[in-house]
Amino acid sequence: MSYDYRKYKPFPPVSLPDRTWPDKTITKAPYWCSVDLRDGNQALPIPMSVEEKLELFELLLKIGFKEIEIGFPSASQTEFDYLRTLIDRNLIPDDVTIQLLTQSRDHLIRRSFEAIKGCKNVVMHFYNSTSTVQRDVVFQKDQKEIIKIAVEGATLIKKIAAEYPETNIRYEYSPESFTGTELEFAKEICEAVMDVLEPTPENQLILNLPATVEMHTPNIHADQIEWFSRNIKNRDCVLISLHTHNDRGTGVAAAELGLMAGADRVEGTLFGNGERTGNTDLITMAMNLYSQGVNPELDFSDIEHITKVYKSCTRMNVHERHPYVGELVYTAFSGSHQDAIKKGLDKYKSGTTGFWDIPYLPLDPSDMGREYEAIIRINSQSGKGGVAFILDSQFGYKLPKAMHPEFSRKIQMITDETGKELKGAEIFEEFSKEYLTVKSPWSLVKYEIKASMDVDTNGEEKNTVGISCSLKYKGELMTVDGQGNGPIDAFFHALQSTSAPKVHFLSYDEHALSEGADSQAVCYIQVADSKGRSYFGVGVDSSINAASLKALLCAVNRIEANSK
C-alpha cells in the first residue's frame, strides 16, 4: 500500500504582515445565497425532479433566503423547464432574486437569457476557471487567454441584458478555483470584468471568490480575502462573495474568517450538501451567529420540518452529530455532564440570569424546535443527575438531592447488566416498581386523624395530633393508634408499636405533581434502619396526609425487602 506524505506540498502562506482580520468580530449577518438547487443538486446521486426542486424552493423561501441559485438552465431541458415553471407559475416573490449559473461561453449565455424571460429579479452568474492547475492541465491556456474568456462573456452578457428592460439583472463573476489562483491574477481578471460591466456603488458587481477546492487552513483563506478586498479597485462598486467547500473539513470556519476579512456575502447549502465533502453549511454558520447574539436573518426554528423536507427532496441523511441538528447533539451520556446540565437549567429557570449559559449546551434546543426531553439519555455511563432530570422533566417527580444516589444505583445496575440505553418510560417504570407500587408487606387501608390541644407542665399550649389506622401486614388486618405533633409524627409512633422495622426519621420533602387544583401531592420520606442505612419512601395521593403516610410505609417496606 502506498502512503507517502512526501508527494504533497504545503500551501504557501500569503504575505500580509499587517493583516487586520484576527481582531475583527462578526456583528451582523452577511448577504446569504442558497445554492442548494444548483451546487447541492448537481452533487446528488439522483438529482431532484422538478417537483422536488419546487418543494425545496418553497422551503428556502420560508427560511428567509432572498437570493437563491436555481441551477444551470442552459445545461439541460430539465433545468430550463424548472426555471420556466417558477416564472410561469409566478412562484418567485417580488423581493426574492433568483440566480442562475453559466459558463462564460456564447451559446450557454444565450440559452440562459432565454430561460429568464418574464422574471423580475435575476443574478446572471458567469464563471471560468482561473487556477494554475486548471490553466495548465485542463485548458492549456495562458493568463491572457483566460482573461479573454471572461471579458468576452461579460461583454455578451451586458449586451443581451439590454434586451431585457423589464428584468432587474445584476451580475456576478466567479474566478473559479480562486484559492488556487495567484492573487495578482485573480485581481487582474476581476478588474478586466469590472471594466466591461462598469459597476457602481448603487449597482454593485458580485465578485464571488470560490474555494472550489479547499486547499489550505482557514487563516490563509482569510488572508486571501483581506488581500483581495484591500487591493481590488473601486471596492465600493463590488460585493465580495464567498463560496467555500469543505475538503479539509473547515468550510464553515473559512467562511467565518472570510467575513472577518472583509467579505459581504456567503453562498452555501443546507447541511453543507455539495460536491465531494460539500459546501459551507448555512445552518451551522447561521446558528453560530445566533449563538453569539447576532441575528442571522434566517429562520431555523422548525429544524425538524426543515430536516424532513431536505431528506425527502435530496434522499440524503443528516448525521447524528451534525451541529445543532443531529439527533444526539442535545444528548448527554456522561453522568457529570448530566448533573451540570440539570444545575444549569435549574438556575436558568429561576430567572437569576438573563442569558443562556448552560454547561455543555451552547444553544437552547427549544430555539430550534427541539425538546428538553431529548437532552439527557441514560446508559451505563450516566450519573445520578441525569436520572433525576428525566423524572423531573418528563414525569414531574422532583427527587430530593439526597435521593439521587439511591435510585440511580438501581438504574446503573440495570444498564450495566443489559448494556443498553434506558428511555424515559423505562426509567419511570423502574421508579414505580421501586417506590410507587410497593404495597407489601405493609399497606394502608384507612386512617382517621384527630387534633387536640393540651397544656404542658409549664402551662403552655401544646398541639397534639392523634391517628387511628387500619393496616394490613401480609394480608392480616390490624388497627394501631399513635400520637405526635403532626400526622406524620403520629403515624410514625403508631408504626413503632407494631412489628415493623424500627427506623429513625431523617427528612421529609413534598411537592405538587402538576399544576391545578386537582393535582396530586408527592411526598418523599427518608429514614434510617437500625444499622444506620438510609432508605427513601415515596407516596402519591390527592391528600397530602395520605401521601405522607404512604411514603413512610414505602420506606418501611423497602427496608423489610432489603433485609431478606
Q: Is the pLDDT of residue 521 over 60?
A: yes
What pLDDT is recorded for position 564?
A: 65
User: Looking at residue 385, what is its pLDDT?
Assistant: 76
Cell of 347: 438556575
- In this prediction, residue 453 has a pLDDT band, given cuts at 50, 70 and 90, of low
Domain ranges of the chain: 28-314, 335-436, 442-562
Is 543 or 381 the better-scoring residue by pLDDT? 543
pLDDT above 90 for 89: yes
Q: Which of 542, 539, 538 is nearest to 520 (CA)?
A: 542
**Can you name the CATH fold of 28-314?**
TIM Barrel (3.20.20)
pLDDT for the residue numbered 381: 67
Res 140: pLDDT: 85
Residues making up the binding site: 39, 243, 245, 279
Per the prediction, the chain carries an average pLDDT of 92
Over residues 387-421, the pLDDT tens digits come to: 888 898 889 999 999 999 999 889 989 888 888 88
Which pLDDT value is given to residue 379?
67
pLDDT at position 455 over 60: no
What long-range pairs does 470-476 form, CB within 8 A, spacing at least 24? Answer: 470/444, 470/445, 470/446, 471/442, 471/443, 471/444, 471/445, 471/498, 472/442, 472/443, 472/445, 473/441, 473/442, 473/498, 473/499, 473/500, 474/440, 474/441
Report the C-alpha gap between 280 and 245 in whole angstroms. Answer: 6
pLDDT at 104 over 90: yes
| pLDDT confidence band for 340 (50 / 70 / 90) | confident
Above pLDDT 70, what percent of the chain? 95
Of the candidates 369, 399, 402, 371, which has an alpha carbon nearest to the alpha carbon of residue 387?
399
pLDDT band at 456 (very low <50, low <70, confident <90, very high): low
| CA 298 – CA 304 distance, rounded (Å) | 15
Query: How far is the CA of 282 from the CAs of 239, 269, 328, 372, 408, in angstroms?
Result: 19, 6, 20, 24, 41
Query: If you average pLDDT over each of 278-292, 326-340, 346-360, which comes out highest?
Result: 278-292
Residue 502 is given by DSSP the state: P
CATH number at 442-562: 3.30.160.270
Q: What percent of the chain has pLDDT over 90?
A: 74
**Residues 149, 128: contact at Cβ < 8 Å?**
yes
pTM: 0.78
- What residue numbers does the annotated binding site for Mg(2+) cover? 39, 243, 245, 279
Strands 97-103 and 121-129: parallel
Phi, psi of 96 (to 5 degrees): -115, 135
> Residue range 181-191: average pLDDT?
97
Q: Which of 181-190, 484-493, 496-505 has the highest mean pLDDT?
A: 181-190
Work out the angle at residue 491's Cα, subtended by the Cα atoms of residues 490 and 497, and round it to the nearest 5 degrees: 100
pLDDT-derived band at 372 (thresholds 50, 70, 90) equals: low
Find the angle CA(198)-CA(202)-CA(208) to the nearest 5 degrees. Answer: 65
**What is the predicted pLDDT for the residue at 454?**
64
Tens-place pLDDT, residues 211-231: 999 999 999 999 999 999 999
Q: Rounded to whole angstroms, how far apart are CA atoms 361 and 344? A: 9
Q: Which of 281, 293, 291 is nearest to 254 (CA)?
A: 281
pLDDT tens per residue across span 29-55: 999 999 999 999 999 999 999 999 999
Nearest CA to 319 out of 268, 250, 271, 248 is that of: 271
Q: What is the mean pLDDT of residues 57-75?
A: 97
SS3 category, 240: strand
Assess whether pLDDT exceeds 60 at residue 253: yes
**Residues in CB range of 432: below 8 A, 6 or more apart:** none
Residue 126 pLDDT greater than 80, yes or no: yes
Q: Is the pLDDT of residue 342 over 90?
A: no
Helix-helix angle 544-562:487-496, to 10 degrees: 30
Query: What does the alpha-carbon distance between residue 353 and residue 397 come to, in Å, rounded to a whole number?
Result: 25
